[in-house]
A and B are shown apart, each in its own frame.
Chain A
Amino acid sequence: MDRDRGIDKYLPLRRVEFHILLSLVAGERHGYGIIQEIEARGETSVPDVGTMYRALARMAESGLIEAAPRRPAPDTGDERRNYYRITALGRRVARAEAQRLELLTQAARLGGLLPKEVK
């Protein structure tokens, strides 16, 4: 747990940031790929492209993600897309954020805001 010291300053994550980390846990993605994954998750308010790339820049700056080597897009064959991957710090922060949300969800269930889990 010592390694997790200091990650509290990254919490709570913004919604778009958590989505980005969730997408990058599965592998490298570019911005539009992340947006498509967010849509696939059923998120009602999908972030705009500008919001997405500002968040990517911010998270790359804070070390949660990093730029991956560029590669040509399979359909257009250009290299204009920026690919990103999650860092070890980003993975720990995402896990901590998930735990935090889980605790809040449990509290909501105990408080009667959500139906109790069916086991």
Chain B
Amino acid sequence: MMRNRMLNMSERWFRLLQRLYPPDFRDDMSNAVVEAYMDRARDVLKSGGRIRLVALWVRALVDSMHNGPAERARPAASWRRAGNWGRDIELVRRRIVRSPIFAATTIGTLTIGLGMFAVVYTAVQKILIDPMPYKDPGDLYYVWRDYGPIADLKRGALAGTDIAERPKTNAVIEGAAGRRCLATGARKVPPKQSFAGLFRKNGVLMNGWLPAAHSGYCRQSSRETAVSTRIAHWFKVSTLAFVRRSTAHAGRAPNFAVSKWVKISAAPRFSPLCSPLCSPFFSPFSMIH
């Protein structure tokens, strides 16, 4: 009982003396130094009793008062002399050596995380942030037509008549970024209608995915002219440049044909504004500036 008490007191004393050493040395050696003193204390208690134990305490004090400041003045290890950077690098090195699995997990996690961040950042940058390769990338419109009176298609493709009648209006189509075909049946059946859509180049490059933001227009009037059947003409026209800005267009309420078209929203690809009949793929046109 008394022996254990003396040993506990000894350990507290030896641990207190460690404060004379610099923190880096304590991190490395403190436990080992205390344990060495405790080994000696056990031996001393066995052989000489309490008097010799007290002598050991005094000797430990003298030892620590000599070596503690000496270690602070001239550290044994060079990395301690290098200051905080040296200490940090040394600690990292030791951690890696002692726990290679932890180190591999950390490095792997960082690699995957940074890689994923780079991929997502690049995708967002290219699809949403970079301006589209057109003359006025901030003034592009996604245009469709309301076929409500003749079909259950509120927002379908522009008809050829819309294009044909464009000279009668102030709105002039200046250019088209791409077109989207209406899927009307089996895949091998040629599309019967198509309309001009504006898309981001990089979105198409990414397997035809449409970026989530684009502006949509619909007609104010529900009265609609007949849908054109001049498909061949439409295809011919649609592959050329159209959509030219005009004063009417500048007000973001462009007139196509006789009806007024108003901007309704920004529409993602699969939003309710997009007809399910719409083909998900855009055919890009060459870039015309």
Contact = CB atoms under 8 A, between A and B. Distances in A.
A80 B31 contact: yes
Interface residues of A, number: 23
Interface stretch (A20-28, A46-54, A100-108): A46-54
B55 interface: no
Contacts of A61: 76-79
Contact of B67 (A30, A48, A82): A48
Contacts of A48: 59-60, 62-63, 66-67
A80 B35 contact: yes
Given A32-B39, A32-B40, A49-B40, A54 B76 contact: yes
A48 B63 CA distance: 6
Given A57-B77, A61-B76, A61-B78, A50 B66 contact: yes
A59 to B, nearest CB: 9
B246 interface: no
Main secondary structure of the interface of B (DSSP, over half): helix
A31 interface: yes
Contacts of B59: 48
Contact of A54 (B40, B62, B71, B79): B71
A53 B77 CA distance: 12
Contact of A49 (B36, B71, B78): B36
B284 interface: no
Interface string A40-76: 0000000011111111111011000000000001001
Interface of B: 21, 25, 28-29, 31-37, 39-40, 59-60, 62-64, 66-68, 70-71, 76-79
Interface of A: 30-32, 35, 48-58, 60-61, 73, 76, 78, 80-82
17 contacts: A32-B39, A32-B40, A48-B62, A48-B67, A49-B60, A50-B21, A50-B63, A50-B68, A53-B32, A53-B36, A54-B71, A58-B76, A61-B76, A80-B34, A81-B32, A81-B36, A82-B31
Given A48-B66, A49-B33, A82-B31, 7 more contacts: A31-B36, A32-B36, A53-B36, A57-B77, A58-B76, A80-B32, A81-B35
